[in-house]
Every structure is written in structure tokens, then in C-alpha cells.
Structure 1
Amino acid sequence: MNSLLDHVRRHADLYADRFGYAPTPFPGLGVVRQLQPGELQVAVQKPLIAICLQGRKRVTMGTSSFDYGAGEALVITADVPTISQITEASPAAPYYALALELDAAVLRALSAEADLGAVDTAPVRIQPADPDVTDAALRLMRLLDRPAAQPVLAEGLLRELHYWMLTGRHGAAIRGLGAADSHADRIARAVAQIRQNFASALRIADLAEVARMSESSFHQHFRAITTLSPLQFQKQLRLIEARRLMLTQGAAIAHAAHAVGYESVPQFTRDYARLFGTPPGRDMRDARLSA
């Protein structure tokens, strides 16, 4: 684990952006660094595994909160809204984590070959990091120093990383993602459609068709898996994207509202304050002062 921390620390210290995120050349894999406890961050997460290597973090989904620290892994197996906060970090001992978005296509291919057990449908869980997973992650991070080897070895190591997650102690939590044509798989197709077109008007009939479900069945399974209705899911995506536009691109409030599909700026302001706890103008001022 210490070797993995060393490689994550070196990459994050060199490449982390002002939000503390440093991508890697490998699809879906990035590292996180934070120098102090932070503000609440709202997001609609994609399925992922995040391995904490130093510091602590709290993630809340609905009425449930999950605290995890060094040596533990956060596993999220559905597109769910979360509120997260770094709770332990300092310049002397920053928060470091490695995060990988789970590739459903790779999981499906592996599921067809592997002998798998039961499925745990809980969308968020904390577990000790699996040694086989951290070993594969370490070998992948070592490739950062050997760019000539990346085109040859990276894809295989990513596949191996998914294999150990699927068959190890994290497996029960993510096996539903590898089950072809399961309810989770069908809802994931509809979620991808919403993510791609979140600024457009939502047609439930079209989404139900993508999921190959009746509208009533689609509503039921969508809420069971994501904890939100399709309209609530779209609204959170819109507000999160608007906040990103204002924070990273300096977009004006009205411009950000219209860019994500709002016709009414006052309605946008009300929805924004409900989700983030403060109106967008004050939120941007606080962000500039914090920066």
C-alpha cells in the first residue's frame, strides 16, 4: 500500500489541478489530492471504486453516511447522487486517493468467462482495499514512468484490475454491472442517454424504450437503482454542470442556466440554492474568496 501511495503522491503533486484531481493516460483512472478538509461537494457519481491511501473522507447518499480512510475502498455501483467531504487532510499529510470508473463493457466480458457468486444490490459500500486490486493498481501506476510500455500493457492491466474487483471482496457489489440485460444494465443505458442530453427536454417514453421497459416499470427500477426519479436525476445533472461552468469557465449565472437547459433564471436560482445550500451568486463569491 505504501508503494501505491508513493506513486499516487508523486503523480498528484505534479499534475493535480486546482480542484485536486490529476488524470492519468489510462481510461477512467485518476488520482486525488487535497491539502485541507474541504467544503461539501455534490455530484451524481458514475460507478467507481476509490481507494483512500491517506487522510479520510465522508460520503453521504440519502440518509446514509459512509466514512473511509487509508486502506479502505469506496465502491459505488450505480449512478447515484452523493455529497462528499474530505474530513482529514493537511499540507503535511494531504488526502490522497486513487479512483477508477468501472467499465461495464469490460465487466460484462469478464463475467461471461468467470465463475461468479451472488450479487449485492447496495449502491454504495465501504470495504478494506483488496490486496489483488491494489497490486494491479500499483503496476498500472508504475507504467506512468514507462510510456513506451503503455500501449502494450495498459489495456491488459486495466482488464486485470477489473477482474480482481469482480472476483475479490468487492465482487458482490459490482457483479450487477457485469450482468447483461439486467435491470441495472437497462437503467444504465437510460442514464447514459440522460447524461448525454441533460440540457434537452426529457421524454420518459423514449427513456423507457431505451431501457426496454414499460414506463411504470422504468420509473420503479430507475428510482430503486439511482434513488431519484428521472426528472430529479436530470435536474441534479443540470445544476452540477452549471456550477462547473461558473467555477471553471467564469460563466455568468444566466448563461450557465440557459446552457444547461433552464428557461427561467429565477427557477434556476431556487433549484441551485436547494441543492447546494446557497444561491449561485454567493456560492461563486465564496469560491473566489476560498481560491
Structure 2
Amino acid sequence: MKIQHISIQGAGEWNEDAVVINPEQRLYGVIDGATSLVPYRSANHETGGRLASQLLKHYFEQLPGEDGRDLETLTKEANARLGEEMRASGIQMDRKSELWTAAMTLIRITDHHIEYVQAGDCMLMTLYRDGSVRTITRDHVAHIGEVPMATWKQGIESGIRSKAALREMVQPQLLANRDKMNTDHGYSVLNGLPDADRYLESGKINRIQLAGLLLVTDGLFYPEEWPCAEAENGNLEEKLLRCVASDGLERYAEWLLALENGDPECIRYPRFKISDDKSGVWITF
């Protein structure tokens, strides 16, 4: 088994992503923290998103090898720890705008199965020995981004070529989406509250003919060019995995960063920031 992993800071002040590596547990994961709408800074000036991802990373990496509890149970405990830390820091837990949150995908490798748990838009994909690709998880955030992205594209079509101006147009929509966390019409995310436990997805797949496992935060998603026929963009998740399988995580990330830097106003590849934090784990057998 070979493991590659990266975590690269994007355009923000902190890298709010984290990678989980726990060889004793054979446990690996990626975490994408999100800063609260109400600004919070720790004594070290860390954002809430940074604190959330680092707390979860520490929790999973300190688990001893003999802890055999399933990943969903462990994730619920980690989420509770996140809530305890926020309360100790004076966060008002009844205000979603103040919560530190994080998306996550986590796996545990056993002799015959891959166990997984997921919240949000961190993704797990697999490669098989016959070359086929399978997406195991669902991006639970994508649907709530459709309205602000449509607004962004309308702005481009109207002649706006400034990322700052486009961002101002969609900001109210992005802010409103935070109220939808862990609701039936919203998205799943770890936020320190019991409501997060109800929206976790978990399960296991067998290892028959399994050749590779890819875990990524959304900053590594394959870029979607626009305007462009849907067929030309194709299956972006499959493109992502095949690029990583061919070139490795680091080279793929370097290519993506160069592409983003070449489109600083987010026009050709519409997105809400020049470059998001990028974390991934690529495991081959």
C-alpha cells in the first residue's frame, strides 16, 4: 500500500483544510473547515474553520489502534468535542452564524473492506483494476451553490469582469446558505451540535479488485470551464481521479493552481474565490 497526501493553502489567511493520517488505525481522511460568519479569532489568531479542522484532525489521529468503534460513532464523538470547544470559547451555539464547521471524508482500511463516513462536500472515489472509476460519496453542498453560481454567471454575461464585483452580487446568497446547515433542504456539516449526527453518511465497500482510493476536499475538484457544452466538461469526478492516478496528487495540484492563477477574476472557470485550500489523500494497493 502506498500513500500520497497534500494540504495546500489557498487564497485565505489560514489553511482551513486538514489531512488525517493514523497508521495504527489504518485511518485516513480529509477535512475542510469553514469560517463562521461572525468573525472569531483564537489567541493565535486562528479562524473558526482552522480550529475546527485541527481539532477534528487531532481527535482522529490520537485514536489508539485497539479502538474498534465504527467511524460513525467516532465522528459523532468528535463532533461533540467540537461543540465543547466552541462553548468553552464563548460561542453562542444557538446561532448558526457563529458556529465553526467542517466537511469531512474519513476511511478505515480493513483486510476485506473500506469503511467510510462523510459530511458535506469532501469526496471519496475508487479506482478498480479494470480501470473503472466509482464515486462513493455525494457532494451534499453542490445544490445550494447553484443559485449563487447562476448569479455569478449572469454577472459575467452582463459584462462584469471583476471578481470583487461578482462576489458582492452573490454574497447575500452565500450568507443565507449557512442557515441551511444540517436541514433536509440544506447540507450536511460537522458543527458541534447533535443535528450534525442525523446527516452523516457512512458505510463500507469491499476490496475486490480495488486498486486505489482518492479522498479530496472541494479545492481539488476538477475545474469546470464556462461557457462550455456539458458534454465537453464530461464527468469531472472521473477526470480528477484519472489525472491523480496518472500524474500524482502534487502534479495535479500544481496544474490546477496554475490554471486558477491564470484566471484571477474567476471568469473562464467560475468560482467564488481565486484558489481554495486543497487537500487530498491518494492510496494505491
- In the superposition, the TM-score normalised over structure 2's length comes to 0.26
Of structures 1 and 2, the larger Rg is shown by 1
Higher helix share: 1
Higher RCO (C-alpha under 8 Å, 6+ residues apart): 2
